[in-house]
Amino acid sequence: MMILFAQKKDCCGCSACKNICPSNAITMEPDEEGFLYPNINHLICKECGLCIQVCAFQNGYDTSKNIDIPEVYAVKHMSDEVRQNSTSGGAFTAISDYILSHHGVIYGAGFDEAFRVYHQRAETSSDRDHFRGSKYVQSDLGTVFSQVKEDLQNNRRVLFTGTPCQVAGLYTYLGKAKVNLSYLLTIDFICRGTPSPKVFADHISFLEKKNKNKIVHYAFRSKVLGWGRHTEEIVFRNRKVDYTSLSSQLYKYLFHSRLCLRPSCHHCRYTNTNRPGDITIGDYWGIDKIFPAFNDVLGVSVMINNTEKGKAVYTDILDNIESIPSNLKDCAFKQESLRMPAPENPRRKAFWDDYLSRGYKYVLNKYTKYGKRNTPKKIIKRILRKLNILETVSSAHQK
C-alpha cells in the first residue's frame, strides 16, 4: 500500500503527486485545519510509485541550472499605477507583460467570487491583474500542473508563479512527464508560510456578518497608508471601505502570529538563497537603509535572477523598470525567509484545539487584540462590583 508521507509536516500540498498519477487515484482533500493533502484511492491505485518519486519536498529539488552567484536587483516599475496595485515594486507585472507580449500564458494565484484562493490561467493583462498582490492563504492548484504541461506541449510560452514549494513541485512533475521546459519561466516569491484557507474563509464570513454586508474586494497588503505598513483593506458592496478598524486587521495578526500556517511551513526546504525558480521576487525590505535614494512610498521589489533564463528576462524588461544592482547579503538582511523556516508558534496546538472545538470568534478573542478591545469596560465593571461589595460590607457594619 502506497504511503505518501509519514507526518503532515512532510507534505506541502503542491499536487504533483495528484497530477502525475496515471490512474487518477489521488485526490486533494482538506484536513480538519483546511489544508489540502493527497488521498489515495487504493482500489484503483496501481502502486507504480510515481507519486512518491515526484515529491520534491521529500526528495529534494533540482538547482543544477542555477548560476553560481545569483544576480540581485532592487526594482521599481516605471508606472505608478502598476506599483500602486502591486504588493511591492511591480516586478511581477513587468515580467508577465513580457510573456504576454510573446503570446504566452500566465499562471498565478487569484480569488474566486467567494474569496477562495486558487491558481488560475491568464492570457490577457486584465486577467493577469487578478494575480497581483500577496495572497496570505495557501492556494488550491487543482489541475494547473497538467494545464502547464499541455501549454508547453503546444509550444506556448508559460510563466508560472507561486510559492517555492509549488515551483519545485511543478518542475519535478514536468520532469517525470518528460516535457520540454524551453518555454517555461518560473517565479518563486519569498514566502513566510501559507495560512489555512479554512481560517481565511471564516474571517470573510466573520467580517460580512459583523458589517451585515457582502465583501467585494479584499487586499492583504493595501498601500492606502504606504508601502512600509502591512494594512489590510476591505471594500463592501455598500461601498464602505475599511482599513482602520480593529476587525479589518485581525487576519494580519493571525498571519504574523504563525498560529495557522501549514505544518510543512515550519520545516520548509526552500527558505534559503538556493531557489527553485528562474527568478525570485519579494519586497525589498531595508531599502531605506541600504539604498535610501531608491526608496519609494509605492514600493520596491527585490528581483533575484537565479538562472541564465532569469537573467535574459531581466534584460528584456529594462524598458519598463528602474533598477539598481544589489547582492544577496543586503536583500536577505530583513528577509528571514531567505535564511530559515518560519518558527512554529508554541501555542499552535492550543490554537487549533480551541478553533476546532469553539470556533473562529473564540480564537479571535483569545489569540488576537480583538479580545482586548473591551478591556477598559471590563476593568470598570470589575471596579464597580468591588465598590458595591465594599458599600454592602460597610452598611452591614454600621447596622
Same domain? 164 vs 257: yes
Last residue of a domain, one of 20, 36, 58: 58
Closest to 185 measured CA to CA, from 158, 223, 162, 212 = 158
Confidence (pLDDT) at 372: 67
Residues 6+ apart with CB under 8 A from 257: 345, 367, 368
Same domain? 44 vs 166: no
Same domain? 34 vs 67: no
| Bridge partner residues of 48 (DSSP) | none
Same domain? 87 vs 39: no
Same domain? 256 vs 168: yes
Closest to 283 measured CA to CA, from 90, 77, 85 = 90
387 belongs to a structural domain: no
Q: Residue-wise pLDDT tens for the chain (399 aa)?
A: 788 999 999 999 999 999 999 999 999 999 999 999 999 999 999 999 999 999 999 999 999 999 999 999 999 999 999 999 999 999 999 999 999 999 999 999 999 999 999 999 999 999 999 999 999 999 999 999 999 999 999 999 999 999 999 999 999 999 999 999 999 999 999 999 999 999 999 999 999 999 999 999 999 999 999 998 899 999 999 999 999 999 999 999 999 999 999 999 999 999 999 999 999 999 999 999 999 999 999 999 999 999 999 999 999 999 999 999 999 999 888 899 999 999 999 999 999 999 999 999 999 999 998 876 644 445 445 545 555 554 444 444 444
Confidence (pLDDT) at 379: 45
Same domain? 14 vs 81: no
Confidence (pLDDT) at 151: 98
399 belongs to a structural domain: no
Confidence (pLDDT) at 380: 44
390 belongs to a structural domain: no
240 belongs to a structural domain: yes
Confidence (pLDDT) at 369: 82
76 belongs to a structural domain: yes
Same domain? 51 vs 94: no
Residues 6+ apart with CB under 8 A from 21: 45, 50, 51
Q: State how far the Cα of 234 lies from the Cα of 251, in Å rounded to an integer.
A: 12
Confidence (pLDDT) at 390: 45
Same domain? 45 vs 89: no
Please state the domain count of the chain: 2
Confidence (pLDDT) at 333: 82
- Where in the sequence is the domain holding 22, given as residue range(s)? 8-58
Evaluate whether 159 touches 147 at the Cβ level (below 8 Å). Answer: no
281 belongs to a structural domain: yes
Confidence (pLDDT) at 39: 96
Closest to 119 measured CA to CA, from 143, 152, 100 = 143
70 belongs to a structural domain: yes
Task: For residue 34, give the CATH number of its domain.
Answer: 3.30.70.20
Same domain? 155 vs 42: no
Closest to 111 measured CA to CA, from 125, 95, 127 = 127
Confidence (pLDDT) at 117: 97
φ and ψ of 364, to 5 deg:
-60, -45
Same domain? 335 vs 300: yes
How many Cα atoms are found within 13 Å in the side-chain-facing hemisphere of 178? 1
